Structure 1
Amino acid sequence: METITLSPLPEEIQAFVQHYQNYRMPSKNPYIAYFFKAPGATISIYTSGKVVLQGSKAEIFAQALGYQQKIQTVTNAGQDFPLIGTDEVGNGSYFGGLAVVACLVTPDQHARLRSLGVGDSKTLDDRKIRTLAPILKQEIQHQALLLAPKKYNQVIASGYNAVSVKVALHNQAIFLLLQQGVQAEKIIIDAFTTQKNYERYVQAETNQVTQAVTLEEKAEGKYLAVAVSSIIARDLFLQNLEDLSQELGYSLPSGAGSQSDKVASQLLKAYGIQALDYSAKLHFKNTEKAKKMIER
């Protein structure tokens, strides 16, 4: 577990507290002014001004406090040709839909993408994502798909599972991008299952991609096309979460932690199960946890 200790400026601390308010939790430690339990990290802000971040994603949250992150460099190796890359965002979040994006990146675009600071969306904070995404959508040929929560629940109820629904979306994004007339020497998916599973599930889809598709682990750190897709997909997911929050009048958190349980129980009380069907992935355990919370 990674531990990072910082002494940020007071204004950086206040900006962090405001931005990550949804993850704030109570602390019995009298020396801790603010405590946050976020996906992959805990953040303790002490009254002295010291900040301690712990967890696998500590480095990501530390960036918002001025930490100079160790950015993984995407090299040219294996991508000196037109390449389609895909990635998805929202799979691990109870609230919000599932966003999948396929992008075509050519070698002449590499320098521009690096100058923008393109990298895996998991290594960029949301402010950077929201800044980069409109530029990338304008400059990079892509196909974006968003499976809204209500439709997601219908698809799952019809017989798809959490893996096969992603197979269907990745396949469709690639198919529609190729329909635009693009040509790629290679198609890479950031692996979310095995190659064998993907090929088994994709056979059931109506639209078939005839070109070879390769699933590769940690592809977002190897291929700029996948990195671009991860950024656009993250932006699409965040926008969907914002839209749903405005419609329902509740701030819907990302992830599937205790804060999601709390908000889900509030929605159940206010609107009933139809609110969760509209805004969340019902098969997650959060649904049952929320029901038990309002039964107490």
Structure 2
Amino acid sequence: MDLSAFEADNSVSCRLTSPVPDACRTEDCCLGIDEAGRGPVLGPMVYGICFCPVSKKEELKNLNVADSKTLTEAERENLFLKLDKAKSFVGWALQVLSPNTISTNMLQRVKYNLNALSHDAAIGLVQYALDCGVQLKEVFVDTVGPAEKYEEKLSKRFPGVKVTVRPKADSLFPVVSAASICAKVARDHAVKGWTFAEDLGEVDTDYGSGYPNDPKTKSWLLKYLDPVFGYPQFVRFSWSTAQTLLDSKAFAVHWDDDEEDGEKGAARQKNTSMLSYFSHSKPKGHSPTHKTHRFFTERRLQNVDTF
């Protein structure tokens, strides 16, 4: 598969898949699950599965798959190409969760945390394999949250499938290592190929590791913070690092149902209200000459005068 297919649209979550080998529809199969990009404040999180017939476990191991975190970028890409060439007995699927999807879910009124999002992504991928006719008998998973509870949850969801959830599963089971490699390669390409809005100009891509404690990442977040519209959709705005910068550098927003407590009142007095950004009067019949802000173009919003 062309690796350029891993380059993500700015705000769109998507699923990428390989063909399902015929052998996986006729033989008992094992499947591994792992993710890449759980911690960074920048870029998507990618959940991956890899599956093959149980009879081919040794052949998969002989491809020298390993935990993606122990490999260089070049080694990961080389191993992904090996996996893709082994299409007669290896299949994979990826769920790419955009930064916007992650943050919107985490900040919705009904609590939906990152663990729940991760569990649902994994369950969706296993169900995809079953719907494609994969004769699934064994599932191996790198744990998210307590291993025992996660194992019980998956076992109830997929009766008849033996589920094994272990910490560091990507270093214990080759089929999980293979899933780890697919997920990591996909995330690397999505981050490198990210398309930023035109009004940002030439974007500095030297943002370090993307992890919140990286000084380069913090500097990048500060540089590309818009005081009204926040961040490009490359940023997970629900992360505390981003939230802290927004609270201190962006215009305050007043919601009608905000409680008038001392803390919120002080915060509103500290920052200029966002309404002041729109308060400049314009002559009647004035036609704006500025370009539409990326906030609107990214969300495909436009002005209307009739409904």
- TM-score, length of structure 1 as denominator length: 0.62
- 1:171 counterpart (97, 117, 123): 123
Aligned to 1:213: 163
Does 2:102 align with 1:152? yes
Q: 1:84 to 1:195 in 2, by over 3 A?
A: same
> Which consecutive unaligned segments of at least 5 residues does structure 1 have?
1-80
- C-alpha contact (below 8 Å) 1:104/1:225 kept by paired residues: yes
Aligned to 2:145: 193
Does 2:145 align with 1:225? no
- 2:45 counterpart (63, 83, 98): 98
Once the 2 structures are TM-superposed, how far is the Cα of residue 86 of structure 1 from its aligned partner?
Answer: 0.3
1:12-91 alignment runs, 5 A limit: 82-91=29-38
- Whole-Å separation in 2 of the counterparts to 1:212 and 1:265: 47
Aligned partner of 2:97: which letter?
L
- C-alpha contact (below 8 Å) 2:230/2:246 kept by paired residues: no
- 2:204 counterpart (238, 243, 250): 250
Aligned partner of 1:154: which letter?
T
- Whole-Å separation in 1 of the counterparts to 2:204 and 2:153: 36
Q: 1:117 to 1:199 in 2, by over 3 A?
A: closer
Aligned partner of 2:144: which letter?
F
Q: 1:131 to 1:289 in 2, by over 3 A?
A: farther
Aligned partner of 1:282: which letter?
F
Aligned partner of 2:99: which letter?
P
- Whole-Å separation in 1 of the counterparts to 2:143 and 2:239: 21
Task: State the secondary structure of the residue aligned to 2:140.
Answer: strand
- C-alpha contact (below 8 Å) 1:261/1:289 kept by paired residues: no
Task: State the secondary structure of the residue aligned to 2:219.
Answer: helix
More helix by share: 1
- 1:287 counterpart (233, 242, 248): 242
Q: 1:254 to 1:135 in 2, by over 3 A?
A: farther
Does 2:97 align with 1:129? no
Aligned to 2:225: 268
- C-alpha contact (below 8 Å) 1:164/1:201 kept by paired residues: no
Once the 2 structures are TM-superposed, how far is the Cα of residue 293 of structure 1 from its aligned partner?
Answer: 7.6
> Which consecutive unaligned segments of at least 5 residues does structure 2 have?
1-27, 251-307
Q: How many residues matched?
A: 211
Does 2:206 align with 1:236? no
Once the 2 structures are TM-superposed, how far is the Cα of residue 199 of structure 1 from its aligned partner?
Answer: 6.5
More strand by share: 1
- Whole-Å separation in 2 of the counterparts to 1:214 and 1:176: 19
- C-alpha contact (below 8 Å) 1:94/1:280 kept by paired residues: yes
Q: 1:115 to 1:201 in 2, by over 3 A?
A: closer
Once the 2 structures are TM-superposed, how far is the Cα of residue 110 of structure 1 from its aligned partner?
Answer: 4.1
Once the 2 structures are TM-superposed, how far is the Cα of residue 242 of structure 1 from its aligned partner?
Answer: 1.2
Higher relative contact order (CA 8 A, sep 6+): 2
Question: Residues 171-212 of structure 1: CA distance to partner in whole angstroms, max 9, x if unpaired?
Answer: 111111121111232111111211454368779xxxx53334
- C-alpha contact (below 8 Å) 1:119/1:228 kept by paired residues: yes
- C-alpha contact (below 8 Å) 2:151/2:163 kept by paired residues: no
Task: State the secondary structure of the residue aligned to 1:290.
Answer: helix
Aligned partner of 1:167: which letter?
H
Task: State the secondary structure of the residue aligned to 1:259.
Answer: helix
Q: 1:216 to 1:196 in 2, by over 3 A?
A: closer
- Whole-Å separation in 1 of the counterparts to 2:148 and 2:76: 32
Task: State the secondary structure of the residue aligned to 1:176.
Answer: helix
Task: State the secondary structure of the residue aligned to 1:122.
Answer: helix
Largest Rg, 1 or 2:
2
Aligned to 1:55: none
- TM-score, length of structure 2 as denominator length: 0.60
Cα root mean square deviation, aligned: 3.0
Q: 1:246 to 1:292 in 2, by over 3 A?
A: same
- Whole-Å separation in 1 of the counterparts to 2:103 and 2:38: 13
